Amino acid sequence: MDLHYITATEAIRQFEAGTLSPVDLLEASIERTDRTEPQVNAVTEQMIESARAAAKDSEARYRAGTARPLEGVPLMIKEEQPIEGMLAEDGSLLEKGNVAELTHPIVERIFNSGAVVHGRTTTPEFCCAPVTHTKLWGVTRNPHNPDMTCGGSSGGSGAALAAGSTILATGSDIGGSIRIPSSYCGVVGFKPPFGRVPGLPPFNSDTYCADGPMGRSVADVAALQNVIVGPWAGDAASLRPALLVSGESGSLVGLKIALSYTLGAFNPDPSVIANTRAFADALRAAGATVDEVDLPWTQDQLNSTAWAHFGQIMGSFIESIGEGDPAQLEQLMPYTRAFIHAASQGGDYVEGLVAESEFYRPLGDIHESYDALICPTIANTGMAADYPGTDTLEAFGDLMTLPFNVIGRVPVLAVPSGRAPNGVPTGVQIVGRTYDDATVFRIGAAVERELALWTTQEWWPAL
């Protein structure tokens, strides 16, 4: 395995054994970033000098026996998550040059864990699209097929991981923004249940929204999740106590897993279905019982429920930044204006809350009999890197992620399932019972071992 594709788990093992230096791993990541960025364009800014100083400190801590949980591991932060004194532009010309006045709580925890933060990653404007291209930063491309999108909104994080530019990365998810790029880029991502990871207002109070970890293995994602999880004094919604998870693989004997190819509301590509079927077979090989189930959801039900919510929170938040000034709003990306318009057409908020409970009930019934549900992450096999996204319902129409933001209290682990004929990876979501994070990691680790897809050098693009 090329050094820039090493997992965080293996890097830490080698750091502890003295066979690899955090300084050398950082330099490999920087060199890889320099090589791939002209094509991939996943990084908004690098933090090379501070990262080099941190890597030297990590090297000394390993020698002294005072290493912290992610000591020496190169990591990139999604630009949406602010760092005091650094740019906070949200991919928008309206925010160009804006400097953050505070640091996101998970970023503070990451620095305190010993991770070597060496860059920030691209997003679509205000994180409101499933693709990543902006007037401010340009087009971020999929390392597996540069003509195609890396997904969004944590697209830069997914692309940087797939390109080998970093070892770990952060994301956030309000409609699939961790899971979409995880699927398209062939990496692992976790959408924690609401409140598990602390956030900043207003979205820390939004049940659709969660900040979470991304990496190239289930164990890596578990390690980063264990750093960012837990209550924070600035977020009343953050849950206590901190719930830790494990990326250790083992038998799934005794687990019952439900399988849905369509969720009732989607029409997946045949290659997506085939790869999901292979994923289910791997679960059976690991000892689980897997049964196909039906869900009664429809696209109309999903859209009316979700957009009533977006209209009151995310859509109005974005519009408020332009202060209703037509000249200001004209500077927004076309997909951003389309999102604002679609959100403005959303229904009554209270009716939407009732609809969310009605939407959950069929899944709740399934979880009474099954330990988890698996389904595809995205119904299609990719979109163009510069896909305009101006038809909002079309842009969101294949995202099988959104139901589990409407039902925001379920944990969802997104892992690869295979590859489409165009070279773009496909993915599967492991959807746990409300707040049962441990089970989705147990299932993900077992299937990672059985499929052995993304644990090989051949999985990663030779850019």
Backbone angles phi, psi at 164, to 5 degrees: 85, 20
150, 162 contact by CB (below 8 A): yes
Backbone angles phi, psi at 460, to 5 degrees: -90, 145
68: DSSP letter: -
Q: Which of 183, 230, 186 is nearest to 211 (CA)?
A: 230
**Length, in residues, of the chain:** 463
- The full 3-state SS of 189-214, as one line of letters, equals EEECCCCCCCCCCCHHHCCCCEEEEE
Q: Which of 29, 58, 78, 217 is catalytic?
A: 78
Active site residue 56: no
Half-sphere CA count of 20, side-chain side, radius 13 A: 22
d(CA 37, CA 48): 15
Q: Which of 177, 182, 183, 271 is catalytic?
A: 177
Q: Which of 216, 74, 213 is nearest to 143 (CA)?
A: 216
Chain-centre distance of CA 324, in angstroms?
31
Active site residue 153: yes
Active site residue 271: no
Three-state DSSP class for 165? coil
d(CA 212, CA 444): 16
Q: Which of 92, 113, 153, 182 is catalytic?
A: 153
> So which residues are the catalytic ones?
78, 153, 177
